[in-house]
Structures are given as C-alpha cells and as structure tokens.
Structure 1
C-alpha cells in the first residue's frame, strides 16, 4: 500500500506539472482558432498522461521490453487522439464560420428590408398626399370647371397606377427572396422577348425624346419562362430610358457564344461611379442624386426595385446579369445558358 500511494503521488505530481504548463499555454493562445485550442488541450492531456505513466513505470522498475511496449501503446493512442482533435477542431471551425456567415447574411437582409421600407415609405408618401388633396378638393367642390376636374382625374389615375406598380414590384421581390417563384420553362427565342420589350418601352422613349435602337443580332433560344424573362428586359429598358437624357440613344443587342446566349442594353446615362457598381442590383439602391428618378411619368418612376427584380429573375433561370461603364453610359448584360 505505501508503494501504491507513492507511485500515485509521483504520477499526480507529474500530471499536475504538465497540466499547469498546458493551462499557461492555453491562456497565451487567446484569439487563436478552435482547432488550435483543441489540439493544445489534447496535447496537454496526452503529455500529462505520458509523463505520469513513464515516471510511474520507472519507479516500478519494469523491464525494458515492457517499457518499449508501453511507449508504443501510449504513442499510438496519442497520435490517434491528436488526429481526432484536429478533425473535430476543423469541423467546429467550419461550423463556426458558417454560423458567422449566416448571421452576417441575416443582418444584411434585415438592413436591406429596413432600407426598402424607408424607400417605399418615401415613394408612397408623396403620391398619397397628392391623392388626398385632390380627393378633398373634388369632394369639397373647390374645383368645379370640367377641365380641372378632368385633370385631377387623370392625375389620380396616374398616381394610382404608379402605386400599383410599386406594390407589384414589392410582391415580385418578396416571391424571389422567399424562393416562392415558380417558373414554367419552355424554349423561348430571345429575339421575340426582346422585340416585345422594345415595343412596350418605345412609347416612353418617344415621350422622353430618347432614341431606342434594337440592333439586328443573332439572338439565342433559351430554356426559360417567357413572362419573367420579358419583365427582365422591360425593367432594363425602362431603367436605361429613365437615366438617358433627351436626344440620347438606348441600344439593345445580343449574340451567342460558347458560354451561352446574351443580351445587352446600353444607355447614355453618363456612367455610374465605380464605388456604386457592386450595389447597382441591390434593393432600393438609387445611387447619387443625378440618378434618382424624377416625377412619375407613364410608369417611369419606380421604387428602385426594377434592377433587383431583374437580377433575381435572371438568377432563377441559372443566368447572370452584370453592369459595366462604357464611353457614353452603362451597359447591362444578361447571360443565359443555352440548352
């Protein structure tokens, strides 16, 4: 019994000495990765066990053969333990990184939602105030001559149409963000979709004095949902016309290459600051004051959601949308895979 107590005390002393050294090492590793902490912790544990066993074995005067076997067993166990600790640490580190990224995405989405609410509130406040004033004027008989009454009716209809478009944009964006968008895919000719979008945008271009040019190009046939794809090009054309000054030119062209089919819409907006290019497709982003829409006219002024909707619809088709500055303005390119 005295020998067992002595051996136990010796092993305890060695283990405590190594353990305290390990605590000091761990305290000096603040800020390191989870993998490093787990590896240091397991190394400390294994070394403490090895030190206690070796000192105890030497105190018991076991044979050299038994001592070698003991070292082999302890060495193999230590290597396996360290490998498991390294694997577990890497796994925990990846999970921690994923959790941090998920939290960052959630914070970014919440920030975008607040920005959208702020923009939509701003866009609705002005037309609602005008609608209320005109409705009260008509109700109180402040305006009675037919010409003014007809003008008020036209303005009420125009503002109602504008707000209806904004609500439609919000609904479409919510479907995209929620993953509730359901596409009915078919073989669609980009030439037909572009032609329809150009025909729809032509009256707005004429009203603003912008020349809308659809170049003769080799458009691809893609697997897509025609209504959603048409909305993409309509949004791009409306955006280009809105930011192109009178007597400017908006050009539409396309082609097919080994990477798929593409359509490009070029405007004469004067360019976008390089710092703003990565945010062009963000919800409610409008950039500098020079690119902020003016008064509503034929659906021209929107809630800053058109490009965000275009990006969501293009990505739903497994495509890509990009923007780049050119000599006179900007060039928006939609690239879609060809079946």
Structure 2
C-alpha cells in the first residue's frame, strides 16, 4: 500500500509539473498549474461519486468499480473488506438461527428481557406456557403479562438463588417453575419449566400421607388403649406375656409419635395449620423448652444453658415456633452423650433474629448436611434404636422456618459437635415494649 501511495504521489506531482511546464511554455504557468489541479480535482470527485454509488447500490455491491492507481487499489481493498463482512454476517446469522432453532425445540420456555423487564425475545414454548404473542407483546414489560405480585417482587429483588413457582397466566392448570439469570447490564434470561406433573405428584404424596396418618390414628388409639389395659393388669398374665406386652406398648407409642409428626408436617405443608402470627416472647418460650429438655435428659445430666442477648420478640405462630425449637433442642439432648453441654442462644443483629442450638455430640459428616431436612433422612441410621426419633423433626423445622420467612443453617464436623441456627428476617422482629401490651391483654382476656 505504501508503494502505491508513493507511485500515486509521483504521478500526481509529475502531472502537475507537466501542467505548469505547459503553461510556462504558453506564457501562463499559473493557469497551467490551476488547470492541472482542476483536472485532478474533477477526477477525484468522479471517483468519489463512483464510490458513493457503489456503497449505496446493493445490486452492484458484489463487484468493485474498475479504476487505476490509488483509487483502483482503494476499491479493491474496500471490496475485500465488504466480502469479509458479508461472510461474517452470514456465519453469525447462521449461528443465531441455529441457536433459535435449538431453543425453540426446548420444552422449557426461554425469555430474554432488558434491565427494566421489556420483552426482547422468547421461544415457542414460552408462547405455549405463558401465552405470549409475537405480534403484540414485543417490547412489553413482562410483569404486565405475568400479573402475579410474587413474580414482580422476585423479578425486582435480583436474588435468584431459589426458583419461583407459580401458575401459568395463560393456562392456570399448568404449574411453572421460574428461574432467572442476570447477564449484561442487568438483562434477564428467564427459564420457565412446566412442573405440573411433579406438582401433582407432590400434592398426591401430601394427601396420601395426610389421609393415611389420620386413618391410622384411630386403630392405633384402640390398640394402645387395649395394650395399656393389659399392662395395668400384667400381674394377672403369665410372665412370658409381660415382656411382649411392654414391647408392643413401647412400639405403639413410637408409632403414635410418628403419626403425630406426620400429621403436623402435613398441616404445615398444606397450609391447613395456618400460621396465627402474633408477637411471641422468644426468651420465655425457649426457657420453657429448655426446662422440658432438662426433664427429658433425666439421668444423662446434660448441661443445658440458655442465653438471650436481646429482648426483642418475634412475630410468628407460637405453636409452630415451639415445635421447631423443641425439635432442635430435644435432638441435641438425644444425640449428645451423657454429661455433655447444650448451648442455646437468642441474638439479634442488623440481619434479623437468630436462635442457635449447639451441642457437644458426635457431629455430622459434611456429605449428610444438605439432606438432613428431608423426611426420614438419617445421617446415622444405627442411632434410630437408641434415640427413638421419627426422622421428621428437621423437616418440620424447615417448613416452620419457611412459613416465617426464615431459613435453617447447619454447622457440624465429626467429633466437634453440631450447631443448628434458625435465621429470621429483621421484618419479623418486634420490640418488647410494643409486644408486651398485646400479650398482657390476651392474659387478661384468658383470666
């Protein structure tokens, strides 16, 4: 390119020198130079016009204009750049078409929005699941089409660690799981998954557990009643029957405890056991539970300590909270060796309220912690006979905390004991000064 410019410059200067020499020969050197410059300017304008027509006319874009010198080289270079651009554009368009075809083949709905929620693109499954229409919904805000307050709050919160479940706005019988990912400058990639079958199976499971638990309670009550009668009159029975009756009575108590926990968990999950939120004195409630835990400890003589660094109350269902706290503290008693220490504390900071239950037991392997709140899951099944638990305690704790907008944190290492922490949001905290009048009034009403 440098050589072409040098040659073009030499030719241009030679032409101008020739024009000036011709003008000098005719007696008008200045006019000769002006004439040469004018011809060069006209030629340059002509080539510029050809360039403009070539760039603006798509019909002639495939072939470069023919010229000589620097303009010929210029046209050739631009033609190569244009061809490369067209090839790159075709390649990118092919990739985009392939991506769109693959996403359209997905059963999950995929939606792209800008930072404000304006719809930019969605696949065919999104049209089916959410009822979007390409002719009218392009550019619309997604929360104007999914008119669910929970979705608007989820979209604006930017906390997408957990998915959101809701019914389809276009087909209410379809249950969807919404997962949002941030990209670019707060743009959103939204995936809507049809989990109707899983939702129905889960509902069937809950109904089955609830119905079976209720149906089993009546015959078990009858069996327990007769076993209790036989145990009271064990002296009148042969000796070989006494042990069998005592064993059956013990197992019937265990079954009754299991059924009670199943019914409680079912009610909490299905909402039948609706939360009656009211200011709850956590300090007083936990002290009562700790006193029950000392009774449960009995001869094991556990050192159960309680410390409250805050007098703030908690807005929640006292019965549910009692059940959750009891499960955590009683579990600590069951799984801590005799003479061990169980530390319970209630504290408040800028993030909310925290109830901690820490023991000096054997600890739990890290691989079990993610599944501890599953129903009937046990980190060490061999402990079942010694503790007599149902395997539902932590599942109940988890659902109680969900009903109170909280979460359960589990810290444990083998040989180092365990710590279970209930975290409650700051919005649920109530100052004791505001809560006390309500509590006193209820006591007077009871009196």
Interval of TM-score (by shorter of Structure 1 and Structure 2): 0.5 to 0.7
Task: Report 1:1-339 matches (<5 A).
Answer: 32-34=102-104, 86-87=121-122, 89=124, 91-92=126-127, 98-103=192-197, 144=236, 157-290=249-382, 292-295=383-386, 300-325=387-412, 328-336=416-424, 337-339=428-430
Give the distance between the partners of 2:367 and 2:129, measured in 1 at CA: 31
For the 8 Å contact 1:251–1:267, the answer to whether it is kept is yes
| Per-residue deviation, residues 213-253 of structure 1 (Å, max 9, x unmatched) | 22353253111121211111111111111111222211101
| Per-residue deviation, residues 175-216 of structure 1 (Å, max 9, x unmatched) | 122222212221111101101111111111233343222235
SS across alignment from 2:275: coil
Give the distance between the partners of 1:252 and 1:318, measured in 2 at CA: 21
For the 8 Å contact 1:143–1:149, the answer to whether it is kept is no
Give the distance between the partners of 1:224 and 1:151, measured in 2 at CA: 45
Answer 1 or 2: which has greater helix percent. Answer: 1
Give the distance between the partners of 2:350 and 2:294, measured in 1 at CA: 32
SS across alignment from 1:98: strand
| Per-residue deviation, residues 9-43 of structure 1 (Å, max 9, x unmatched) | xxxxxxxxxxxxxxx99x98798111799xxxxxx
For the 8 Å contact 1:251–1:266, the answer to whether it is kept is yes
Distance 1:171 1:255, change over 3 A: same
Give the distance between the partners of 1:200 and 1:147, measured in 2 at CA: 35
| Aligned-residue RMSD, C-alpha | 4.4
SS across alignment from 2:102: coil
SS across alignment from 1:293: helix
| Per-residue deviation, residues 35-58 of structure 1 (Å, max 9, x unmatched) | 799xxxxxxxxxxxxxxxxxxxxx
Q: Does 1 or 2 have the higher relative contact order (CA < 8 Å, sep 6+)?
A: 1
For the 8 Å contact 1:220–1:262, the answer to whether it is kept is no
Structure 1 residue runs without a partner (length 5+):
1-23, 38-83
Distance 1:268 1:164, change over 3 A: same
Distance 1:169 1:289, change over 3 A: closer
Give the distance between the partners of 1:273 and 1:253, measured in 2 at CA: 24
Q: Which of 1 and 2 has greater Rg?
A: 2
TM-score by length of 2: 0.47
Residue 264 of structure 1 and its aligned partner are, at CA, apart by 0.3
Give the distance between the partners of 1:225 and 1:161, measured in 2 at CA: 27
Give the distance between the partners of 1:233 and 1:163, measured in 2 at CA: 22
Give the distance between the partners of 2:335 and 2:98, measured in 1 at CA: 58
For the 8 Å contact 1:210–1:246, the answer to whether it is kept is yes
For the 8 Å contact 2:309–2:348, the answer to whether it is kept is no
Give the distance between the partners of 1:240 and 1:113, measured in 2 at CA: 31
Residue 107 of structure 1 and its aligned partner are, at CA, apart by 6.1
Residue 147 of structure 1 and its aligned partner are, at CA, apart by 8.9
Give the distance between the partners of 1:251 and 1:207, measured in 2 at CA: 19
Count of aligned pairs: 251
SS across alignment from 1:263: strand
Give the distance between the partners of 1:222 and 1:216, measured in 2 at CA: 13
Residue 94 of structure 1 and its aligned partner are, at CA, apart by 7.0
